[in-house]
Amino acid sequence: MQSFRTELENPIVEKDIIDLEKKIRAFREGKIHDEKFRSLRLARGIYGQRQPGVQMIRIKLPFGKVTFKQILRISDVSDKYASRNLHLTTRQDIQIHYVSLDRTPELWEELEQDDVTIREACGNTVRNVTSSPDAGISLNEPFDVSPYAHAFFSYFLRNPICQEMGRKIKFSFSSDERDTAFSYIHDLGFIPKINEKGERGFKVLLGGGLGAQPFLAELVHDFLHEDQIIPYAEAMLRVFDRYGERTNRNKARLKYLVQKLGLEEVLRLIEEERTANKVKSFKIDRDAVPQPAVPELIDYPVLDEVKESLDYKHWRATNVTPQKQEGFYAVYIKVTKGDIPTEDARKLIEAIRPYVADEIRVTQNQGLMLKFAREAALPGLYVALKELGFAKPGFDSVADVTTCPGTDTCNLGISNSMSLSVALEEVIYEEYPELIYDKDLKIKISGCMNSCGQHGLAHIGFHGSSVKANGKVVPAVQVMLGGGTVGDGEGRVAERVIKAPSKRATDVLRYLLNDFAANSLDNESFHAYYDRQTKDYFYQLLKPLADLSNLKDEEFVDWGHEETFVTAIGVGECAGVVIDLVATLLLESDEKLEWAKASYSAGAWADAIYHTYAVYVSAAKALLLDKGVNSSTQIGVIREFDNHYVQTGEVKLEGSFNDLVLQINKNEPTEAFATAYLKSLEDFYTGIKSQREEKVS
């Protein structure tokens, strides 16, 4: 590889990109272990694909906001480095695929020219901060949550407390009590409130998550003042970093820490940690995310015939909603499979320019939201969208199926979810067209149990699986029923009901919709219908579709494929793997010590203190591995170091290692404490490195 230099004006971003290029070069030269390098690239949005030798790049779009210029930039980058496609995700990101690892630094540099980042889009970090796409324009919102989501993104990006956690952390901000950002399945979910004094704040939920074992979040604050949400999140992250699982990835989420320690203990630790926070109060800049300029008023085409057409009326009723800004409308675009070829993306931008503001929001159901369309602009906008295939009615309805990439590109995919989503949507449009108006019933699909397609919060959900029949493996779906949003922080997790061959998923949908139409009570919701009928009722209803004695040849072939199905699951990369190699840990400690010194020199006392803490833990972990002792949490490392080194006299300290290290949450992050803490570390670290060198020499 040739040495890479950027031409960016932001020195922090420039350093990031150059550092990535150096790490790639060191990896190619065999100087960085494969698993360690994996965690490094994941934290920079670079995710291994199912296909060997290429990467998926996840582009981080805080709360889904993207401008016309940024869409065009991402399209250019996809054309140059990837597969000429943009994939919209359920976390409001954009992903591009089939990228060469060696070209990722220059790809990142080109994205940053229009203020687009891939930093911390994957890995053991704070993932993309999501919000309701209609934040700022919703008729129901107490206030716009966009500046708060933006503040979280800005505050935690590159923050030392959340760079090497045991797993990922997800935050969401819903615009109102409808909870369209799904607070109940997030590590921290926020719903805006105004108290009796007229102050802004949030209802706060903690410890939710989907995945193979879903947990509903716990209510921890009915009202937390707006100035306290970042300090609270910071303290929570510090607790998760110290106490969270690091060896067993399947248990390395905040929800399992709550399960292990209990909610009361986790909340106590959060309060205890607040002493060490960088900030005790954080005033959000409410003007940080201004509304885009309203499009200029022009002579819009009248198009009376279009306005009278049935297709337009369906689209107008299902894909257009009034904004709180009087006289303006939000227009939603349903995007099949969440995929937009770059050629279409460019045409889309040119088509919508005259009609809407220069801001698009990616939605959680993999669509797009346009803003500030005038009533007179709607017919012309509809015609422009229809010519490109973007005027399909039924946005966010039964006909709008959410899906992850599945076996198309994901290592963990068991069966094809994207082609199945198209098949299910065809069933709705062709056989149940009236359901394009039903926005209370959601269908979601994931290629595996990990719920990237959010099947765990669907009324009707499917996830990829397999069954055996006649000595062969059959692609299958696990049918999940009864999940979804209740509102104001309450939600339901879908229940596993039955497995059926994947090719019968369309019949599963028909059985369910027909039964709901025939047997539900007047105005009965699907949730009430499901509860009244019970899980066993649906098991018996769908049991004939699970019968494997009458399989046809085509049922051994997955959706979108021609070859006979085989399970081929790779290693997941939803979070980096920690490498327990003594030499690697000591090298990391050296690097972290330099970070601590650099932060100290810059007067960033809190950052210097946290980097110092990280060196203590990393160095102690290295020495413990010398004795074959491996702890799965940072707090465990601290305690085991006392047991195996301090109490045995091999390392001499005035007190315990626990007391030395955990000064971090007993002291304010002042210059005086940063000075003393760093000095203590340097004395400790010099001693153990000398001891280690004597031992191996």
Is residue 587's pLDDT more than 90? no
Distance CA 583, CA 576 (A): 19
Residue 694 has a CB neighbour count (10 Å cut-off) of 8
Radius of gyration of the chain (CA): 26
Q: Under the phi-then-psi rule, with left for phi > 0, alpha for psi from -120 to 50, and beta for the rest, what region is 362?
A: beta
Please write the tens of the pLDDT for every residue from 615-671: 999 999 989 988 889 899 999 999 999 999 999 999 999 999 999 999 999 999 999
For 491, phi and psi rounded to 5 degrees? -150, 175
Distance CA 149, CA 128 (A): 10
Which is it for strands 65-66 and 55-59: parallel, antiparallel or unpaired? unpaired
Distance CA 168, CA 170 (A): 7
Concatenated DSSP letters for 362-430? E-TTS-EEEEEEEGGGHHHHHHHHHHTT---S-TTSTT--EE--GGGT-TT--S--HHHHHHHHHHHHH
Tell me the mean pLDDT in the region 111-126: 94
Scan for tokens 């106490």, then name that residue: 243
Q: What does the DSSP 8-state code read for residue 525?
A: -
Both tokens of residue 241?
């970093």
> Mean pLDDT across the chain, nearest whole number?
92
Is residue 573's pLDDT more than 70? no
Residue 452 has a CB neighbour count (10 Å cut-off) of 26
Residue 568: predicted pLDDT: 54
Residue 36: pLDDT band (50, 70, 90) is: confident
Q: What does the DSSP 8-state code read for residue 576?
A: P
Query: Do residues 674 and 605 make contact, with C-beta atoms less than 8 angstroms apart?
Result: yes
Residue 565: pLDDT band (50, 70, 90) is: low
CA 455 to chain centre: 15
Identical topology for domains 11-112 and 304-387: yes
CATH number corresponding to 11-112:
3.90.480.20
Scan for tokens 């049922």, then name that residue: 555
3-state secondary structure of 506: helix
Please write the tens of the pLDDT for every residue from 49-96: 888 889 999 999 999 999 999 999 999 999 999 999 999 999 999 999
Tell me the mean pLDDT in the region 492-502: 95
Residue type, 330: A
Residue 507: pLDDT band (50, 70, 90) is: very high
Distance CA 192, CA 600 (A): 37
- Cα separations in angstroms, 59 against 46, 76, 101, 126, 194: 9, 14, 15, 14, 33
Is residue 321's pLDDT more than 50? yes
3-state secondary structure of 694: helix
Q: Which residue has the higher pLDDT, 41 or 205?
A: 205
Residue 579: pLDDT band (50, 70, 90) is: very low
Residues 6+ apart with CB under 8 A from 9: none
Note the pTM of the prediction, 2 decimals.
0.93
Is residue 442's pLDDT more than 80? yes
Residue 212: predicted pLDDT: 83
Give all strands (DSSP E) within 518-643, no chain letters. Answer: none
Q: Under the phi-then-psi rule, with left for phi > 0, alpha for psi from -120 to 50, and beta for the rest, what region is 123?
A: left
Domain map (residue ranges) of the chain: 11-112, 130-276, 304-387, 402-556, 582-696
Give the fold, CATH level 3, of 582-696: Four Helix Bundle (Hemerythrin (Met), subunit A) (1.20.120)
Please write the tens of the pLDDT for every residue from 355-397: 999 999 999 999 999 999 999 999 999 999 999 999 999 999 9
Please write the tens of the pLDDT for every residue from 458-491: 999 999 998 998 888 899 999 999 999 999 999 9
Query: Do residues 330 and 321 make contact, with C-beta atoms less than 8 angstroms apart?
Result: yes
User: Which of 354, 512, 506, 491 minimizes the C-alpha distance to 422?
Assistant: 506
Burial of 184 per CB tally in 10 Å (0-12, 13-18, 19+): buried
User: Quick one: CATH architecture of 402-556?
Assistant: 2-Layer Sandwich (3.30)
Give the fold, CATH level 3, of 304-387: Sulfite Reductase Hemoprotein; domain 2 (3.90.480)
Is residue 694's pLDDT more than 70? no
Residue 57: predicted pLDDT: 95
Is residue 2's pLDDT more than 60? no
Distance CA 658, CA 631 (A): 15
Residue 610: predicted pLDDT: 97
Residue 205: predicted pLDDT: 98
3-state secondary structure of 469: strand
Q: What does the DSSP 8-state code read for residue 480?
A: E
User: Quick one: CATH architecture of 130-276?
Assistant: 2-Layer Sandwich (3.30)
Tell me the mean pLDDT in the region 435-453: 91
Is residue 117's pLDDT more than 90? yes
Both tokens of residue 165?
């956690």
Residue 582: pLDDT band (50, 70, 90) is: confident
Distance CA 597, CA 612 (A): 9
